[in-house]
Amino acid sequence: MSDVGGGGDGGSKTQRSPSEFLKGVLGRPVVVRLHNGTEFRGVLACMDGYMNVALEQTEEYVLGELKNKYGDAFIRGNNVLYICPQQA
């Protein structure tokens, strides 16, 4: 995936392209929010250009309530709204 914005400026604070962001959160706890509002919290195992995501130690939250837990989960990329690192 080539980058239009921020690609050439590897790792500086001011420019951070999605691929650099991805490198930063791999193996870290993240929140994956879907278009329907469902949240998956877990450790980001891997992710690809389609935004397909594999999570470990996954918790599924619907309307802020814990609904389910999974050891491993695969989320198809078309459902993903955003990914953010879990705060502390």
Q: Which residues of the chain form contacts with another protein (CB under 8 A)? A: 1-7, 14-22, 35, 37, 51, 77-78, 80-85, 87
Provide, rounded to whole angstroms, the least separation between the CB of residue 36 and another protein.
Answer: 10
CA distance 10 to 81: 25
Provide, rounded to whole angstroms, the least separation between the CB of residue 86 and another protein.
Answer: 10
Provide, rounded to whole angstroms, the least separation between the CB of residue 68 and another protein.
Answer: 22
CA distance readout (Å), 38 to 3, 20, 47, 57, 83: 29, 25, 18, 16, 12
Q: Which is nearer to another protein, 18 or 59 (CB)?
A: 18
4: left (phi over 0), alpha (psi -120 to 50) or beta: alpha
